[in-house]
Structure 1
Amino acid sequence: MGRWTQHIVAWHRARVSNGPTEALSNLIKRVKRIAFGFRSFASYRIRSLLHAGKPNRAPLATITPR
């Protein structure tokens, strides 16, 4: 507890954390892992949008399965 005193006090004063930043970083890392191996940027982009949860579904019609 002694090592974290300043951080705990800062939280109670400002009510701000780096949680949203960590969440975005985690999302980016997950998307990179899932999209590993894609050769075209369009496929990578579509996979990223699908994984993020709010895709623009219009480009999906342009994909042809192999």
Structure 2
Amino acid sequence: MTERQDPTCSARGCRRPAVWALRWNNPKLHTPERRKIWVACDDHREHLEEFLSLRGFLKDTVSTQELG
């Protein structure tokens, strides 16, 4: 049995605990209902949201606790 590890931020080089889940999809590759997830710490949330938003990929952002 493996222990569940808390997610770490998806920003390059960051090892902080992630507290946000950015749900996105690339409409050229994914069906409309498919959601990929990047996770972010408080410091990188805005940067990652902007990156995804500029490409039209970001669907929503929720707390990692809401993911279950």
Please give the TM-score of this superposition, normalised by the length of structure 1: 0.26
Structure number with the higher helix fraction is 1
Between structure 1 and structure 2, the one with the greater Rg is 1
